[in-house]
Chain A
Amino acid sequence: MSVGSRRGDRSAPALALVLWAALLFSPTASAATNMITLGLALEPPNLDPTATSAEATQDVVYGNVYEGLTRITEQGRVAAGLAQSWTVSDDGLRYRFNLRRGVHFHDGTPLTAADVRWSLDRARAAGSTNPLRELLAPLQAIHIVDELTVELELERPVADLLTYLGWGNLVILSPATATRAATAPVGTGPYRFVEWRKGDAVVLELNPDYWGTPARLQRVTFRIVPDASSALAALLAGDVDGYSNFPAPEGVAALEHDGRFTVSIGSTEGETLLAINNARPPFNDLRVRQALAYAVDRRAIIQGAMYGYGQPIGSHFPPHDPAYVDLTARYPFDPAAARALLREAGYPNGFALTLRLPPPYYARRSGEIIAAQLAAIGIRVRIENIEWAQWLEQVFKNRDFDLTIISHTEPMDYDIYARPGYYFGYSSPTYAARLAALSRTRDESSRLRLLSELQRQLADDCVNVFLFELPKLGVWRHDLHGLWREAPIQGIPLAAAYLDGPAGHAAAATITRSSGGVFTALALVIFTLAALALRRHVSARHLLGRSITLAVTLLGASLLIFLLVNVLPGDPAAYMMGLNASQSAVANLRAEYGLDVPAWQQYLQWLAALAHGDLGLSYTYRVPVADLVAQRLTVSLPLALYALCLSIALALPAALVAARRPGRALDSLLMGIAQVGLAVPNFWLGLLLILAFSVHLHWFTAGGFPGWQDGIGPALRALTLPAVSLALPQACILARVLRAELGLALAEDYVRTARAKGLSSWQALCRHALPNAMIPALTIIGLQFSFLLAGAIIIETVFALPGLGRLLFQATAQRDLIVVRGVVLLLVAAVVLVNFLVELLYAVVDPRLRDTGAR
C-alpha cells in the first residue's frame, strides 16, 4: 500500500529542491578592514570574568571589554583605571575612589558609583562564584559618597587591595546587563563584544565612544586553536595574525628566523612546579624532598620541554618582580647529593611513585624528562596523564597524588602556601605569620624584606621543586605593534595595539546569523530522501515497525550514554571554578547545574526535556545545548556531505572502469591503488596534505573555518583538505566494495541475459550490474556517512575545525556532561536515522523489498 496521495508524492521532492536552493543562495556579509585575529589555545568557558578564574576569559575581555577601578600596567604596577584617583586613610581601612567623568557602558548607560558598589557587592555576596570572594572578606561596607565617588570600608588592612581591584575578577559591570555577561558582555572598555562562535572565535570591535584614547584596531577576533600543532599551521598559513602566548615552544625558534613575524619572549606570573604531596610519606621527610630537588636538572627541562624558553626559579616567585630573590643555586643539579640524601632518609634503593600530569604541554613534556632524571637516582616514576577535570578532582580537591607538574599563573599567589588544606599538604605557622604581617605592612622596604623571607622559607623547606617561570611566547605579524611582552596579569589588553599602514586582513571576522539553517538543512536531507523513498511503495507497516525499532535503540542508547557519562570522574562545577575557588562557590554552582539530585532523577529529567526537544543548558557556555550543536553542525554536516560526495565521485568511476575489463592491467592498477589507499589513516593523510598544500604551496589554509556568511567559496575552500583526507580512504573502501559487487553481479545470469539481448558490455555493466551492486554499496555509503559525521573527530583536530567532534572533546575535557550527552545522543541518533534511511532506500532500489500487500 502506498502512503500519501500521488499529488503529495510528486510535490515533495520539488519543495525540497526549492528549500535547498534558498539555503544555498542566502545573502552573504561583506568584509571589513584594519582588523586582526589572535589565536587562543583554550576557549573561554564563558565571558564573565567575575564568575570564573579561567585564563581564557580574562584573555578576551580583560582591559578590552571590561575595566576595573584600577588597572595593572605591563610592568605590574597599579595605575588609574575607571577611578581617576583615590585616597587611602592612614590606618589603611578606608579607600575613597573618584570615578572618571563621562564613562559609558557599551549600551550607552553612564558609569556611576552605584554600578561600582553593585559590582563589588555581587562579587562578595554569599552565593557568588567569584574566585576572589574570600579575599574580599575584610571588606565591610561600600558607601556611595556621590554620583562619582565611592568609599570602601575594611575591617582590617589589605595591603594589596589596589592590585586586586585591577584584576579581571573585580571589573565593573552594569546591573542591567550583568545577567547576560557570560555570553554577551557589556563593559566600559575600548572594544565591545560582537559575537562568540562557540568552539571557533570571539569577536570584538572598536568602541567609538571610549572615554580614553580610542583603540586603533577596527576589529579583533580571538580564534580558538586548541592544539599546539594546529597553532603553528594556523600562524604559517596566515589564519591567525599572532599569539599573545604561543602554545608550541618547539615552533618558536623557526618563527624567530621568519621575517614575517615578531617574536617577543616575556615572562608570565606562572611559576611551574613539580608539586609534592608534603603530607604523604615519604615526602613528609625534608631529605626526600631535597633529594628530589637535587635530582632535577632545570636546564635540561627548560631545554627539552620548553625549547630553551623559560627562566629557572628557586622558589615560588616571578623573576621579573622587584622583590625577587634568585634561589636557583639553593639546590643545584647534583645527583650524588640526591642519592646521599635518599640513603640518609632510609631509601638506599630508591622507591616508586606516581607522577600525575595534567594536559598542558609543559607538564606532559617536563614530566617525561623528570621521570628520566629521577630514575637516575633510583626513583621509579609511573607517569599518569589525566584530564583537567580529573586533576582538579584527584589532585587539587582530594589531594590524592605523589607528584604533579603544574604552573600557578595567578599573580601574587604565594598566599596559597598558608591556605589550610591546600593540595601541597604544607603547613607552617611561621609562614602564615609572615604572610599576615605582609598583609598589614604598607612600607615598601619592610614589604621587600618580608617577601624575601617568604621566598627563602619555601626554598629551604623545599615544599615543591621549583622548575621555571612559564615564558610568554609572544608571536605576531611584524607589522602588529602594541601587544604586551610581559604578562604580569591574566589578560591580553589590546588598547594600544595597532597595525602599520592601511592594513587589511583576509581572515575576515563576521557574524553568524542563524543556527536554525542547519536544522533546516538536516531536515531537508531527511525529507528529500524520505520523499524519494515514499514515492515508491513503502508500507506504513514497514515504516511503523522500523520506527519502533529506532525508538527502542535510541532509548537504549540514551540510557547507556547516561550511565557512561555519569560515571565519568570529575566535577564540572569544580572545573568551572578553577584553582582558587572556594568550596562554597563550587557547591552553589553544583546546585545551579542540578547536579545535587540522584542520578536516576537526572536521567528522567533529561529524558523529559528531550521529549520536548530540549537538550538542556550547557554548564560551561550557559547556552542551550541545541544551539551549540546546531552551530557545530554547520561545519560537520557540510564536511560529511562534501567528503561523502567526493568519496562516491572517486569510487564510482574507478569501480566501473575496473570492472569493465576484469583482471586487466587497469583493474589491477586501480584496485592496487585502492588497497594501498585504504591503509593510509586519514589523520596522517591530513598531516601530509597540510605539509604539502598549506605549508609549502599555500593553496589552502591549514585549518580553521571562516563560516558560511562570506559565501560558499571560502567555506568550501576551508573544508576541502579535511574532506579530501576523510574521503580518500573511504573512497578506496567504497571502490573495492563496488568493484567486488560489480564482479559478482557481472557473473549473474541476468547480465548474460542482457548481453544475449544485444546490449554492449558497457550497457550491461551500467544498466544491470551497477544497480544490483548498489544495494550492498548503499550499506557501505550509509555507514560511511555516519562515520564521516561522527568519525571526523580526529580530522577536526588536525584541521582545527569547530565541528561536533571538537565540541565533544572540549565538553568531555571540561566535564560539560550535558553537552557530552547531547552530542553523543545526537550522533547515535544520526547513525540510527541514516540506517533507517538506507533501509528506505533499499526499497527504492530493490522492488523485492517493497511491500506487496496491496496485491
Chain B
Amino acid sequence: MPPARLTVGLKIGTVLLSVYAALALSSLSSVYDAGLTIEVGSRLLAPSAAHWFGTDALGRDVLALVAVGTRTSLGVALAAVAAGLLCGVPLGLLAAARGGLADDALARAGDLVFAFPSLLLAVLLAAAAGPGAMTAVIAIGVFNVPVFARLVRGNALSLMQRDFVMAARVAGRSTAAIAFDHLLPNVATLIVVQATIQLSLAIVAEAGLSYVGLGVQPPDPSWGRMLNEAQTLASSAPWLALFPGLALALAVLALNLVGSAMATHLDPRSRAGSP
C-alpha cells in the first residue's frame, strides 16, 4: 500500500474521531438540552440556520440528537469492546501459556459462540433480558470475548516458540511471568488494532440492534433508533435518515482508517524492504 494515502487516511480518521469525541463530551454538558426538549409545534422542520440538521417528529433538534446519540452509540460500543477485552485477553493468554484442557475448553466455547451468527445471540438476549443499552453491551460483548481470546492465543502460541521465551524459561521465569512480561507486551499492539476494528463492528451492531428496537431505548437517542424512526418519514423528511446514517458511517470509516493505518504500520510484512 502506498504510504502517502495511508497518512491521509490516518489524518482523516484522527480528525473524525476527535470530532466524535468532542460531540460525545459536549453532550455531557447542557448545551443540547434546549434542542432535546419536545416541542410539538416545531416538528419536522427542514435543515435551516436555526436547526442545522432539521428537527424530528417531536420537534427536537436533529443535531442535538445526533450529538447525544454519539455518546450512547460510542458508549455502548466502547463498553462492549472493553468487556470483550477484559475477558478475552486473560483467557487467551491463559490458554496459550497453559495449553491442555484450558486451551481445549476455550476453543470449544469460542466455537460455540462463533456458531451463532452475529445478532442472533443479541436477539435472544434482548428477548430474554429485555431490550436496553445493557443488553446491547452484553450481547455485543459476548461476541468480542472469543475474538480477543483467539487473537491473543494464536499470537501468544507463536511467541511461545520464539527464542526469547525459551530464554526466559531457561532464566527460570514462571508461566504467569512469561505471559505478562513477554507475551502481553508483544501482542498489545495487535490487540489495539483489533480493538479499533471491533469497535467499528460494535458501533454497527449497536445501531442495528437499536434499529430493530432491541438496543438503546427511548428517550435516550441513538443513531440506530433515529434511523428507525426516520424510515417512515424518509420521503417527506429525508434529513432524518441522512444525518444519523452519515454519523454512523463516518464513525465506522474513521475507526477503519485508523485501524488499518495502525495495522499497516505495525505489520512487519508491509514494512519489509525489497526482496
- Which of A's residues lie within 8 Å of B, judged by CB? 227-232, 236, 248, 250-251, 254, 300, 303-304, 307, 359, 364-365, 367-369, 371-372, 383-387, 390, 549, 552-553, 556-557, 560-561, 564-565, 567-569, 663, 668, 671-672, 675-676, 678-681, 683-684, 687-688, 690-691, 695, 743-744, 747, 752, 786-787, 789-791, 793-794, 797-798, 808-809, 812, 820, 824, 827-828, 831-832
Whether the pair A690, B211 counts as a contact (CB closer than 8 A) is no
Q: Which residues of A contact B256 (CB under 8 A)?
A: 675, 678-679
With A250-B232, A568-B127, A681-B204 as given contacts, are A688 and B217 in contact (CB-CB < 8 Å)?
A: no
CA distance A831 to B112 in the complex (A): 10
Q: Which residues of B contact A251 (CB under 8 A)?
A: 232-233, 236
Whether the pair B9, A675 counts as a contact (CB closer than 8 A) is yes
A394 to chain B, nearest CB (A): 10
Q: Which residues of B contact A832 (CB under 8 A)?
A: 115
Q: Which of B2, B124, B241 has the most CB of A within 10 A?
A: B124
Selected from B228, B234, B275, the residue in CB contact (under 8 A) with A695 is: B234
| B47 interface hit (Cβ, 8 Å) | no
A372 to chain B, nearest CB (A): 4
CA distance A275 to B212 in the complex (A): 26
> Which B residues between 210 and 254 are near A, CB-CB below 8 angstroms?
211-213, 217-219, 227-228, 230-236, 238, 241, 245, 248-250, 252-253
Whether the pair A681, B112 counts as a contact (CB closer than 8 A) is no
With A386-B130, A565-B124, A690-B234 as given contacts, are A679 and B200 in contact (CB-CB < 8 Å)?
A: yes
Q: Which residues of B contact A793 (CB under 8 A)?
A: 119-120, 123, 212
CA distance A273 to B183 in the complex (A): 62
CA distance A675 to B213 in the complex (A): 28
CA distance A560 to B112 in the complex (A): 9
B38 (CB) vs chain A CBs: closest residue: A372
Whether the pair B211, A254 counts as a contact (CB closer than 8 A) is no
With A232-B232, A304-B40, A684-B227 as given contacts, are A390 and B275 in contact (CB-CB < 8 Å)?
A: no
Whether the pair B115, A557 counts as a contact (CB closer than 8 A) is yes
With A383-B218, A568-B128 as given contacts, are A684 and B249 in contact (CB-CB < 8 Å)?
A: yes
A747 to chain B, nearest CB (A): 7
Q: Which of A359, A365, A684 has the most CB of B within 10 A?
A: A684
| B5 interface hit (Cβ, 8 Å) | yes
Whether the pair A372, B37 counts as a contact (CB closer than 8 A) is yes
15 pairs, CB–CB < 8 Å, chain A vs chain B? A303-B40, A364-B218, A365-B57, A372-B37, A553-B112, A557-B115, A557-B116, A668-B5, A683-B208, A688-B245, A743-B1, A786-B117, A789-B117, A798-B231, A808-B123
CA distance A786 to B119 in the complex (A): 12
Whether the pair A683, B227 counts as a contact (CB closer than 8 A) is yes
Selected from A557, A561, A680, A691, the residue in CB contact (under 8 A) with B249 is: A680
| B54 interface hit (Cβ, 8 Å) | no
A387 to chain B, nearest CB (A): 7
Interface size range of chain B in the complex: 35 or more
Whether the pair B241, A384 counts as a contact (CB closer than 8 A) is no
A315 to chain B, nearest CB (A): 24
| A interface secondary structure, majority | helix
A232 (CB) vs chain B CBs: closest residue: B232
| B43 interface hit (Cβ, 8 Å) | yes
With A675-B253, A793-B123 as given contacts, are A300 and B235 in contact (CB-CB < 8 Å)?
A: no
CA distance A680 to B249 in the complex (A): 5
Whether the pair B59, A248 counts as a contact (CB closer than 8 A) is no
| B88 interface hit (Cβ, 8 Å) | no
Whether the pair B213, A691 counts as a contact (CB closer than 8 A) is no
A268 to chain B, nearest CB (A): 20
- Which of B's residues lie within 8 Å of A, judged by CB? 1-2, 5, 9, 37-38, 40, 43, 57-59, 108, 111-112, 114-120, 123-125, 127-128, 130-131, 200, 204, 207-208, 211-213, 217-219, 227-228, 230-236, 238, 241, 245, 248-250, 252-253, 256-257, 260, 269, 275
Whether the pair A675, B248 counts as a contact (CB closer than 8 A) is no
CA distance A175 to B256 in the complex (A): 65
Selected from B115, B213, B269, the residue in CB contact (under 8 A) with A744 is: B269
B136 to chain A, nearest CB (A): 13
B97 to chain A, nearest CB (A): 25
B73 to chain A, nearest CB (A): 11
Q: Which residues of B contact A254 (CB under 8 A)?
A: 235-236
A301 (CB) vs chain B CBs: closest residue: B40
Known pairs A688-B241, A793-B120 / 16 extra A-B pairs, C-beta < 8 Å: A227-B231, A304-B59, A372-B38, A384-B130, A384-B217, A385-B213, A553-B111, A567-B128, A671-B1, A678-B256, A687-B231, A687-B245, A691-B234, A791-B118, A798-B231, A827-B120
Q: Which residues of A contact B252 (CB under 8 A)?
A: 678-681
Whether the pair B123, A812 counts as a contact (CB closer than 8 A) is yes
With A569-B128, A675-B257, A683-B211 as given contacts, are A794 and B119 in contact (CB-CB < 8 Å)?
A: yes
B10 to chain A, nearest CB (A): 12
CA distance A809 to B119 in the complex (A): 11
CA distance A365 to B57 in the complex (A): 10
Whether the pair A368, B227 counts as a contact (CB closer than 8 A) is no
B62 to chain A, nearest CB (A): 15
Whether the pair B231, A229 counts as a contact (CB closer than 8 A) is yes
Whether the pair A809, B228 counts as a contact (CB closer than 8 A) is no
Whether the pair B231, A824 counts as a contact (CB closer than 8 A) is no
Whether the pair B38, A681 counts as a contact (CB closer than 8 A) is no
Selected from B57, B58, B249, the residue in CB contact (under 8 A) with A681 is: B249
Q: Which residues of A contact B238 (CB under 8 A)?
A: 691
CA distance A218 to B159 in the complex (A): 73
Name the 4 nearest CB pairs between A and B, nearest first: A229-B231, A790-B117, A679-B253, A679-B252
B23 to chain A, nearest CB (A): 17
CA distance A813 to B57 in the complex (A): 26
Whether the pair B115, A831 counts as a contact (CB closer than 8 A) is yes
